[in-house]
Structure 1
Amino acid sequence: MPLDALRPAPLVEQAAERLRAQIVGGEWGVGTKLPGESTLAKALGVGRSTVREALRALAGAGLVRARQGAGVFVIATEPAQDWPTRLREAAVAEVYEVRMMVEVQAVRLAAARRTAADIAAIEAALTARRAAGALDDAEFVRADIALHAAVVAAAHNTVLDDLFAQFAPVLHRGLVDLVTLLDLRADDPDHGDDSHAALVAAVIAGDADTAGRVLGEELRGTLDRVTAG
């Protein structure tokens, strides 16, 4: 499949897509050295800087790798999945296992670092979770996750905040399905209120050990239900 000159538009994106098609289509197999920048630029009808940026995009997708002094080589014919995609496609149980490892430590940090503003936000989130007991499962789970997010935010670690934000959509989908399937709120619209109140109390009191234990037990109980289903 010959490389045709590109039309005016986002040239880097077009160049990356055209080169990606060559790789995914098998024109350039794993281990193949790509033509030089000048050759690719001439074939695509763009400048070398455009080709360079396109190759960087392909490298970010895990398709090619530059070797110092040797050139750019194909290392895979299928793009690597990014983190959000991996999360969306992962089993809820897998996500929950990672959540347990991350969030239990996060609440321990929150207990040590919470500020007056954090405490106010956490208490407001607990109140909102209780109010959501009168709402449908989707809104109740959303309020539940918002409370956990408020506690994680009290750890004052931006990486943890970002990681939990990535988890949230997957958790919401899986927990709504779980709550609905097992009808967990049939007799208790505020399902899990006692454990969440205990978690909030421990974080406010600065008791990292209790906060970690309470959350660990709560998440373990949910994971057991997920895996049993």
Structure 2
Amino acid sequence: MTSGNDSLHATGRRSLVDLTIEQLRERLAAGTWAVGEQIPTEHELAERLQVGRNTVREAIRVLVHAGMLVSRQGEGTFVRSTSDPASVLRGVQRSGVRDVLEVRAALEAEAARLAAVRHTPEDLDRMRAALAREAEVIASHTERVEREATVEHDLEFHTAIVEAAHNPALTEVYRYFSASVRESMRTAFGDHEMPEVVVATHQALVDAIAAGDPEQAEVACRALLAEPTAAVEQLLAEFAARK
């Protein structure tokens, strides 16, 4: 365990818990304690921070929930990760449309494979209901810009695919990622040069999952995302050429 001359100070008007969290997060990111290493006890940290043990305990609880620390009963608290998931998420949210679509392809293709072998009848019902709502919105609008209304239904459809994989870790990653997915889709639907949503390609994915064919489900998922990805690539190339 690292002992320290690097004492931390709790000052200012901010919440002591918030400040303690920030200070501990900074030390973790700086490598003060390595991954797998036990951090100082609550008593030691409280003395360094000049705050109460309850404040330290709450800060540690937040960082455990964030995945940076792990508590082991009877042993203490250890470093799980020196990377702050919140910072990672902020980086994802700043990514461009092409970046988001590429990561979508990776996440959703694997989810489609798993969904083909793990789905339940209820999962299929959710996919089909979301697709039916999306098809209805597309059919009822003539102005391209109005088709932004399909974004929520399309995201609902893709989320149903991911959740049908019945992999909690994959579902949580996709939920974190869904804000950027939504924003990229809004951007795509707001550009007149982007291809329209094709219900048939979505239906092909549902059919492959329903048939229990993981290879075909992956192929169908990648085909579904290939057209908007290619369109984004073309737009980026045209933009670069105009510079």
Q: TM-score, normalised by structure 1?
A: 0.68
The match for 1:126 is: 131
Instruction: Spell out structure 1 runs of 4+ moving beyond 4 A.
Output: 3-7, 30-33, 37-45, 51-62
Cα distance change, pair 51–110 in 1 and its aligned pair in 2 (3 A): closer
Rounded to whole Å, the distance in 2 between the matches of 1:54 and 1:208 is: 43
RMSD (CA atoms): 3.8
Residue by residue, what CA displacement relative to the aligned partner does 1:163-198 show, whole Å, maximum 9, x if unpaired?
Answer: 22222221221122122213547xx6xx31111111
Partners of 1:6 and 1:15 within 8 A in 2: no
Rounded to whole Å, the distance in 2 between the matches of 1:42 and 1:115 is: 53
1:172 aligns with 2:182: yes
The match for 1:73 is: none
Structure 2: give runs of 5+ residues left out of the alignment: 1-8, 34-41, 69-81, 236-243
1:149 aligns with 2:149: no
- Higher gyration radius (CA): 1
The match for 2:147 is: 137
Select between 80-89 and 105-114 the one with higher mean Cα deviation. 80-89
1:199 aligns with 2:217: no
Structure 1: give runs of 5+ residues left out of the alignment: 25-29, 63-75
Residue by residue, what CA displacement relative to the aligned partner does 1:47-85 show, whole Å, maximum 9, x if unpaired?
Answer: 3564576589799899xxxxxxxxxxxxx9xx8852321
Rounded to whole Å, the distance in 2 between the matches of 1:202 and 1:58 is: 41
SS at 1:181's partner residue?
A: coil
| 1:13-24 matched pairs, under 5 angstroms | 13-16=18-21, 19=23
Select between 133-142 and 53-62 the one with higher mean Cα deviation. 53-62
Partners of 2:10 and 2:49 within 8 A in 1: yes
Q: How far did 1:121 drift?
A: 1.4
Q: How far did 1:43 drift?
A: 8.3
SS at 1:82's partner residue?
A: helix
Matched residue count = 201
Cα distance change, pair 82–131 in 1 and its aligned pair in 2 (3 A): same
Select between 80-89 and 121-130 the one with higher mean Cα deviation. 80-89
The match for 2:17 is: 12
SS at 1:127's partner residue?
A: helix
